[in-house]
């Protein structure tokens, strides 16, 4: 599956648009991670526990979007965008969406 944040893929001709595809996940923080994050907040630096949580969430969302595109018969997704929002205190949603297409 070809993935692109642009509306087209260079050197590929789009022969069919199949429509919107999306994938999302909602993840909650973990108490153990919160303790480590609180300590990092005191001394500064990257909060690696949350970085890992968000990276895993993005990958899961992409996997779900790709699966939806495959079910439509697509071999590429263009115009990919990410969105995130807080669902409740301590839980966030990662949403990824794009246009499923067939390219030559």
Please give the pLDDT value at position 52.
85
pLDDT of 64-76, one tens digit each? 999 999 999 999 9
What mean pLDDT comes out for the span 3-8? 96
Note the pTM of the prediction, 2 decimals.
0.84
Residue with the bigger pLDDT between 41 and 14: it is 14
> From start to end of the chain, where are the E strands?
2-3, 14-28, 76-88, 91-103
Q: How far apart are CA 3 and CA 84, in angstroms?
A: 19
Architecture of domain 2-103: 2-Layer Sandwich (3.30)
Q: At what angle do helices 48-72 and 31-43 cross, to 10 degrees?
A: 130
- Is 60 exceeded by the pLDDT of residue 32? no
Rounded to 5°, angle at Cα 54 from 48 and 60: 135
Rounded to 5°, angle at Cα 41 from 36 and 46: 80
pLDDT of 74-96, one tens digit each? 999 999 999 999 888 778 899 99
What residue ranges do the domains of the chain occupy? 2-103
């Amino acid at each position: 599956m070809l993935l692109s944040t642009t509306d087209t893929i260079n050197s590929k001709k789009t022969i069919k648009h199949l429509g919107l595809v999306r994938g999302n996940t909602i993840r909650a923080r973990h108490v153990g991670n919160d303790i480590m994050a609180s300590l990092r907040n005191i001394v500064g630096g990257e909060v690696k526990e949350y970085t890992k949580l968000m990276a895993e969430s993005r990958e899961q969302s992409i996997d779900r979007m790709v699966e939806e595109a495959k079910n439509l018969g697509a071999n590429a997704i263009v115009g990919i965008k990410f969105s995130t929002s807080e669902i409740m205190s301590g839980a966030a949603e990662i949403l990824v969406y794009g246009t499923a297409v067939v390219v030559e």
